[in-house]
Amino acid sequence: MHRITNAVREGVLKRGAFLFLLLALMTLPACAAQEREDAPARMANLPPMDDASGQNVASQWQHLRARLAADGLSGPKVDSLLASLGAKSSAPMGRKMTELYKKNFLPSPKPPKKPASQVYKGVVTAANADKCLAFMDEHRQAFAAAEKRYGVEPEVACALLFVETRLGAYLGAKGDNALQTLASMAESTSLDDIADWLGRMPGYEEHEAWFARTMAKRSEWAYRETRALVRYMVDNGIEPATLPGSVYGAVGLCQFMPSNIAPYGADGNGDGVIDLYTPEDAIASLANYLARHGWKENSSRAARHSVLMRYNKSTRYANTILALADLAAKRAGSAAAR
């Protein structure tokens, strides 16, 4: 059984919270792994494991508990994870439905006078390229191993990490954890579950059928991700509090959704652990993902762009990664020529 460390996550999260405050100045150092501890110690901080009755699991999570059990995930460890959850949050589903509602039913703003930028604003800069170069130098063995095995150049892998989490400096909003986020979204299926968000969606009463269909679809997606995450956490003794995530539950420096960990996660440092909060494993995992989706060492730029869009379906996302990688390579070459 793989074991994943609490101390690593706590170290990365604490440093990340501090470094994120300095993003505007772009003086972020690279994140690093810290001392590990055993799974029994990590699990000791969870609520006491109860019997098969699930009596320590709050009533609002009993439906989720039953669904997980039907899919073969039950027992004291699962109950302990569910018992650790706080109140269901309306934010994950409310945020997503607000976004979709505005896109579908509210008038679009007038098009900008100037063409939209083809890359993310403020990312492709010399300062950020130098941050990538410093991170690549600190983890040169991990990047070299990923390039040798998967054909993904260090500049591209590092640029992806920068775009996703600023090289680990920002892993999610303060206090958020992926299990709470995904479980809340999985259990949000009606307008009552997002009542405090409805004021942001004028005329919602006219679209109740759309809400029913769309929320059911999004809830089912979130349940699948919750199920994958619970399996991963149970197998590795992970505490929810040590698992910061994005607003929709992506985890690690490379921001994998939980369902991607099993098929694409890779042990980059050879310690028998797949921990996406350590640079070595995050680098290997993202490179594995890209390779499995068609990345080739000598493929065309258009082909690479297409593969990056499998990671995130956004033209600007792929453009930004390739542009930042190009700039980092250019600056490395200039430095070497001096």
Please report, rounded to a whole number, the percentage of residues in the chain having pLDDT higher than 70: 82
pLDDT of residue 54: 80
DSSP 113: S
User: What's the mean pLDDT in 88-114?
Assistant: 89
Closest CA to 295 of 124, 160, 130: 160
The whole-number pLDDT of residue 241 equals 81
Question: Does residue 37 contact residue 7 with C-beta atoms inside 8 Å?
Answer: yes
Lowest mean pLDDT: which of 184-188, 235-239, 314-318? 235-239
Looking at residue 36, what is its pLDDT? 29
Neighbours of 235 (CB within 10 A): 15
CB 74 within 8 A of CB 68: yes
Q: Is the pLDDT of residue 202 over 70?
A: yes
pLDDT at 55 over 90: no
251: which strand partners? 245, 256
What's the pLDDT score for residue 28? 34
Report the pLDDT averaged over residues 112-138: 92
Q: What percent of the chain has pLDDT over 90?
A: 72
Please give the model's pTM, rounded to 2 decimal places: 0.81
Pair 272, 1: CB distance under 8 Å: no
Cα angle for residues 76, 81, 83 (degrees, 5° grid): 90
Say which residues have a Cβ less than 8 Å from residue 296's Cβ, sequence separation at least 6: 151, 303
Tokens of 109: 């703003």
Q: Which segment of 39-43, 194-198, 296-300 scores lowest on mean pLDDT?
A: 39-43
Q: Which of 91-100, 151-160, 167-176, 292-301 shows the lowest per-residue confidence on average (mean pLDDT)? A: 167-176
How would residue 116 be classed by pLDDT, with cut points 50, 70 and 90?
confident
According to the model, what pLDDT value does residue 274 have?
Answer: 87
Single-letter amino acid, residue 199: G
Handedness of CA 88, 78, 15, 263 (dihedral sign): negative
Residue 48's pLDDT is what? Answer: 45
Comparison of pLDDT for 283 and 272, the residue scoring more? 283
Residue 88 is classified by DSSP as P
pLDDT for res 242: 82
pLDDT of 52 reads: 52
Q: What is the chain's mean pLDDT, rounded?
A: 86
Asked if residue 21 has pLDDT above 80, the reply is no
Asked if the model's pLDDT at residue 185 lies above 50, the reply is: yes
Asked if the model's pLDDT at residue 322 lies above 90, the reply is yes
At 192, the amino acid letter reads D
Is the pLDDT confidence value at 132 over 80? yes
Tell me the mean pLDDT in the region 173-186.
90
pLDDT at 237: 81
Q: Band the pLDDT of 44: cuts 50, 70, 90.
A: very low
Q: What's the pLDDT score for residue 53?
A: 59
pLDDT above 50 (res 37): no
Does residue 67 register a pLDDT over 70?
Answer: yes
